[in-house]
């Protein structure tokens, strides 16, 4: 349930093996203090256009301390809860970094010399894995600070901030684990009025839980506010311009920053891009088609394997029909997953696999072709052996549900940001029904469920503050936009659209499968993005990689 939303969570598996993003535990966050080596630089980076009431935020000093794994430092940063009323109160945001590894660069900086040459430090490189709702700090500590190319890490301080409402930055919370288990199992292909009412009640219950637990922050987790927070962080880090790599939803966050602060744009990589000009309904329908495209790639590969393919099909279309029929069987009679214990508060044992969770499990594997073998095994177990544990594990990974039955903040923050950024896709069940034919056309396998899942924001307690619009960022330095031709979550057409909207956009195309392009195994893609990050070199118009 809730598997269709604007700016799907990034399953940014680049530079690492397939699996769920692991959030490093033991993060220690320090408060702001007067001890910082970037004090003068942060004040110098203030723009004349910065309102006087924001000066204390832009001039704040970050107090860094060791945290997590060796080499990582953490701090906390203050930002206005409401930028329209800075005096009304603060929000505290968690920040982490791993300093540039180039010894010569660090030595020059310490000596007050200008960093130049191959080993010269280039400043900070902010990273965001997408979502909305993905923990940037978890991503940095588990992967980016070690998985990015060594020559990039040598010249940049790798930095992450959990956006407001996410993970360690005053997270949005909505339901406990038991109630989330019920929510994620809700039937999203209602067959009658009773099931339609049940789906509506589930969305209302979820929204009411968010309001009850997070009323203060819900109106202030928009992408615009998160982008403004990034500029405050830029100043606190002492950087005149922002360098940034954003994946999936992170591309919308980065593009929004460029729109707000075009003259402060350094080197921005927007990988797996979103199109900000689209309505929520159009985005969800495009994304539905994207998952169908990804499934057809999986099905084509599966069919070619003959007896190894659990769908037992002769064509991708036939495979889709068989999978859809299997979902229908689960809708009528869910599988009881083997094992005792577990239940609503534990692992997979003792739980049931219905259509909603099975669909989520399949979609989770569409984000990266490295997950296809796991999906084949899971479908084989479920369809032939009536064991749904594999699909349930894929779904749990997608929802970030742990073995104790607890859910991370991801899905709460995801809904909170999406429902604030754009007016809802649909206002009522009647509107969904009218659009079902177009969603089914976009995806015979997933269309119906993704259409109904798009109803969630209709019951959100806070009115949307954003509107779909083109982002041009006139005056910004060159921005690199990367798109993957068979990307399931951010269709390739979105990357083309964003690159054409940005006044300084340059499109890099990766002809392949999976979500996002950087680090997926293409030397062409990686060398192009590395050259941009390290030298500012943008690719020639129309450059394509495979």
CATH of the domain at 506: 3.40.50.1820
Q: What is the pLDDT of residues 427-437, one digit of tens each?
A: 999 999 999 99
Res 14 pLDDT > 50? no
Res 2 pLDDT > 70? no
Query: What is the domain range of residue 249?
Result: 39-171+219-277+468-545
User: Beta-strand (E) ranges in 101-226?
Assistant: 123-128, 156-161
Is residue 253 one of the residues assigned to a domain?
Answer: yes
Q: Does residue 27 come out as left (phi exceeding 0), alpha (psi in the -120 to 50 range) or beta?
A: beta
3-state secondary structure of 191: coil
Is residue 315 one of the residues assigned to a domain?
Answer: no
378-412: buried (b, 16+ CB within 10 Å) or exposed (e) per residue?
Answer: bbbbbbeeebbbbbbbbbbbbbbbeeebebbbbbb
Q: What is the pLDDT of residues 412-453, one digit of tens each?
A: 999 999 999 999 999 999 999 999 999 999 999 999 999 999
Please compute the mean of the pLDDT values over residues 506-527 and round it to a whole number. Answer: 96
Cα-Cα-Cα-Cα dihedral sign, residues 77, 78, 82, 85: negative
The encoded tokens of residue 249 equal: 């939803």
The pLDDT confidence band at residue 346, using thresholds 50, 70 and 90, is low
Position 16 scores a pLDDT of 29
The pLDDT confidence band at residue 120, using thresholds 50, 70 and 90, is confident
Q: Which of 81 and 11 is assigned the larger pLDDT?
A: 81
Name the one residue in this structure whose structure tokens are 């901030």: 161
Position 46 scores a pLDDT of 44
Cβ atoms of 261 and 455 closer than 8 Å: no
Q: Phi and psi (nearest 5°) for 297? A: -65, -45
Please compute the mean of the pLDDT values over residues 341-352 and round it to a whole number. Answer: 59
Q: What is the pLDDT of residues 60-73, one digit of tens each?
A: 999 999 998 889 99
The pLDDT confidence band at residue 7, using thresholds 50, 70 and 90, is very low
Is residue 291 one of the residues assigned to a domain?
Answer: no
Is residue 384 one of the residues assigned to a domain?
Answer: no
Is residue 340 one of the residues assigned to a domain?
Answer: no
- CA distances, 319 to each of 94, 297, 313, 328, 545 (Å): 45, 11, 5, 14, 29
Is residue 524 one of the residues assigned to a domain?
Answer: yes
Give the residue numbers marked as catalytic: 248, 487, 515
The neighbour count for residue 112, using CB atoms within 10 Å, is 6
Q: Which residues contact 49 (CB under 8 A, 6 or more apart)?
A: none
Res 116 pLDDT > 90? no
Res 241 pLDDT > 50? yes
Give the Cα separation of 392 and 59 in Å (integer): 48
Q: Is the pTM of this model over 0.95?
A: no
Q: What is the pLDDT of residues 20-48, one digit of tens each?
A: 222 222 222 222 333 333 333 333 444 44
Element (H, E) at 544: strand 544-545
Is residue 434 one of the residues assigned to a domain?
Answer: no
Position 21 scores a pLDDT of 27
Q: What angle do CA 343, 345, 349 make, to 5 degrees?
A: 35
Is residue 260 one of the residues assigned to a domain?
Answer: yes
Position 34 scores a pLDDT of 30
- Rounded to the nearest integer, the mean pLDDT of the chain is 88
Nearest partner of 489 among 508, 517, 521, 520, judged by Cα = 517
Number of domains making up the chain: 1
């Amino acid at each position: 349930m809730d598997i269709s939303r604007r700016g799907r969570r990034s399953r940014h598996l680049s530079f690492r093996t397939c699996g769920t993003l692991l959030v490093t535990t033991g993060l220690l966050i320090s408060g702001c203090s007067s001890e910082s080596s970037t004090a003068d630089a942060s004040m110098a980076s203030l723009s004349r256009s910065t309102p006087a009431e924001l000066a204390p935020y832009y001039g704040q000093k970050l107090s860094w301390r060791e945290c997590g794994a060796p080499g990582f430092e953490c701090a906390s940063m203050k930002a206005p809860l409401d930028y329209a009323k800075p005096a009304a109160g603060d929000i505290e945001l968690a920040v982490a970094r791993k300093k540039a590894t180039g010894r010569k660069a660090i030595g020059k900086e310490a000596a007050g010399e200008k960093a130049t040459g191959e080993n010269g430090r280039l400043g900070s490189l902010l990273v965001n894995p997408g979502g909305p709702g993905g923990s940037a700090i978890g991503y940095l500590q588990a992967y980016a600070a070690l998985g990015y190319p060594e020559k990039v890490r040598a010249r940049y301080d790798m930095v992450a901030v959990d956006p407001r409402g996410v993970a360690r930055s005053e997270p949005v919370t909505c339901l406990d684990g038991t109630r989330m288990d019920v929510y994620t199992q809700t039937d999203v292909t209602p067959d009658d009025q009773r099931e339609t009412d049940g789906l509506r009640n589930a969305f209302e219950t979820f929204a009411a839980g968010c309001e009850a637990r997070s009323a203060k922050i819900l109106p202030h987790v928009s992408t615009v506010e998160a982008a403004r927070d990034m500029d405050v962080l830029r100043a606190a880090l002492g950087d005149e311009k922002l360098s940034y790599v954003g994946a999936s939803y992170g591309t919308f966050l980065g593009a929004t920053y460029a729109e707000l602060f075009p003259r402060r744009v350094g080197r921005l990589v927007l990988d797996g891009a979103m199109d900000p000009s689209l309505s929520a309904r159009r985005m969800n329908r495009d994304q539905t088609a994207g998952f169908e495209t990804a499934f057809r790639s999986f099905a084509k590969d599966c069919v070619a394997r003959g007896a190894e393919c659990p769908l037992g099909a002769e064509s991708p279309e036939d495979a889709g029909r068989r999978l859809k029929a299997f979902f229908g069987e689960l809708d009528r009679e869910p599988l009881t997953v083997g094992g005792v214990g577990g239940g609503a508060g534990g692992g997979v044992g003792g739980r049931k696999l219905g259509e909603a969770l099975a669909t989520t499990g399949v979609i989770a594997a569409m984000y990266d072709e490295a997950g296809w073998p796991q999906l084949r095994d899971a479908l084989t177990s479920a369809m032939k052996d009536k064991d749904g544990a594999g699909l349930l594990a894929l779904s749990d990974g997608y929802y970030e549900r742990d073995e104790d039955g607890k859910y991370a903040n991801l899905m709460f923050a995801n809904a909170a940001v999406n429902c604030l950024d754009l007016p809802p896709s649909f206002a009522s069940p009647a509107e969904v029904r009218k659009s079902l034919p177009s969603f089914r056309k976009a995806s015979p396998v997933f269309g119906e469920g993704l259409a109904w899942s798009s109803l969630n924001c209709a019951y959100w307690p806070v009115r949307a503050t954003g509107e779909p619009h083109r982002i041009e960022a006139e005056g910004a330095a060159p921005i690199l936009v990367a798109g993957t031709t068979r990307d399931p979550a951010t269709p390739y057409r979105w990357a083309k659209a964003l690159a054409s909207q940005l006044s300084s956009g340059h499109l890099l195309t990766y002809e392949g499968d999976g979500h996002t392009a950087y680090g997926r195994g293409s030397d062409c893609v990686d060398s192009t993005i590395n050259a941009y990050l390290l030298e500012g070199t943008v690719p020639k118009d129309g450059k394509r990689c495979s």
